[in-house]
Homo-oligomer: A and B are copies of this chain.
Amino acid sequence: MKKRSKLYSIGETSKLKNLSIKALRYYHKEKILMPAYINESTGYRYYSAEQFIHIDIIKAGRQLNVSIEEMRKIFSSANTEELLFFLEQKKKDIDAQINQLNSVKNKIDILRKRIDDSFNIMNDEDFKVTHFQERYLMTTPSTEGKESSDLLDYSTLDCLMENYEIKSIYESGTLYYIDETGHPTPTFVFELINKEDYFKNKDLFSILPTGNYLTLSYTNKNRNEKMLQLRNFIIGNKLHVIHCLELYLFTDIFDVNAFSCQLQVYIKEYN
């Protein structure tokens, strides 16, 4: 029943095993599948029928994303137990790749949601009361005013986020201290972080309390007008406001001259 002995030319082998002559030559060159016999005068390669299962292994390996380097290792040890061990490792690699891809998908979802939310927020032309759940933030003291811009602070913050391997949820901004006359002073720049990262290392982060916030969005075009509007509202309603958050919106991220933000003022007292 098993009569595998005859030699087959590279052309015959290619046809019988549905693997190109080019591929057979390549696997020879890479010392993965050595021909059973090479005619010294013509240089023609011949394969024995017993080698055909090795071609099956190579073909299976290609389907299993096995690299040439790995294939060479498998054939140099030529041990079924080691092949099984290798395949288990391969499965772990695949799991790691799948996790990485899922995390990329997750990042895309977060970014997309942030852009969608930004457009919705931009459509709120007037004041609004918005309820927020508890939020967590990573902060660094603002040097704005002392330095030429807030960029240095964001770069400090970026480094901190990277060092602690904290995922960005694309929500960043500046926290202002509001004095008695209503004048804002930048105190911190911040990035909001997710609950999961917060609970990994609570000491690093601050909390924004659950509750109602007075919110108002502005663009570079109507900024001054909107700021005045907010200030008058706070004074007119005798709100006790100490802090104001300014969150950058992702509306047109390519236009370097345009920007938009949402102001958020915590109004525990206001109904």
User: A259 contacts which of B2, B80, B112 (Cβ < 8 Å)?
Assistant: B2
Interfacial chain B residues near A31, Cβ < 8 Å: none
Given contacts A60-B111, A98-B102, A107-B63, contact A80 B252 (CB under 8 A): yes
Q: How many copies does the complex hold?
A: 2
- Tell which of A82-90, A125-133, A193-201, A233-241 binds the partner: A82-90
Residues of B contacting A1 in the complex (Cβ-Cβ under 8 angstroms):
144, 150, 174, 186, 246
- Tell me, in angstroms, the Cα distance from A155 to B15 when the chains sit together: 8
Please give the distance in Å from A183's CB to the nearest CB on chain B. 13
For the complex, what is the distance from the CA of A60 to the CA of B110, rounded to whole Å?
12
Residue ranges of A at the interface with B (Cβ–Cβ < 8 Å): 1-4, 6, 15-18, 48-54, 57, 60, 63-65, 75, 78-80, 83-84, 87-88, 90-91, 94-95, 97-98, 101-102, 104-105, 107-109, 111-112, 115, 144, 148-152, 154-155, 158-159, 162, 174, 186, 220, 246, 250-257, 259
Contact A111 B94 (CB under 8 A): no
Are A57 and B253 touching (Cβ within 8 A)? yes
Complexed CA–CA distance, A88 and B113 (Å): 12
Question: A194 to chain B: closest CB distance in Å?
Answer: 16
**CA–CA, A17 to B154, complex, Å?**
9
Instruction: Provide the bound-state CA to CA distance between A72 and B39, in Å.
Output: 52
Q: Is the CB of A16 within 8 A of B104?
A: no
What is the chain B residue whose CB lies nearest that of A64? B104
Bound-complex Cα distance A69 to B17 (A): 38
List the B side residues contacting A107 at CB < 8 Å: 60, 63-64
- Are B149 and A49 in contact, with the CB atoms below 8 A? yes
Q: Cβ of B256 and Cβ of A54 under 8 Å apart?
A: yes
Docked-complex contact B104 and A3, CB < 8 angstroms: no
In chain B, what residue has the closest Cβ to A258? B50
**Nearest CB to that of A52 among chain B residues?**
B151
Q: Is the CB–CB distance between B98 and A4 below 8 Å?
A: no
Cα-based distance from A251 to B83 in the complex (angstroms): 12
**Distance in angstroms between the alpha carbons of A223 and B91 in the assembled complex:** 36
Q: Please, which residues of chain B bring their CB within 8 A of the CB of A97?
A: 101
Residue of B nearest to A159 (CB): B18
Query: Mind listing 17 A-B residue pairs with CB under 8 Å?
Result: A1-B150, A1-B246, A2-B220, A3-B150, A17-B155, A50-B256, A51-B256, A53-B253, A63-B104, A63-B107, A64-B104, A65-B104, A83-B115, A88-B112, A90-B104, A94-B104, A98-B101
Identify which of A54, A87, A186, A251 gathers the most chain B CB atoms within 10 Å of its CB.
A87
On chain B, the residues within 8 Å of A186 by CB distance are: 1
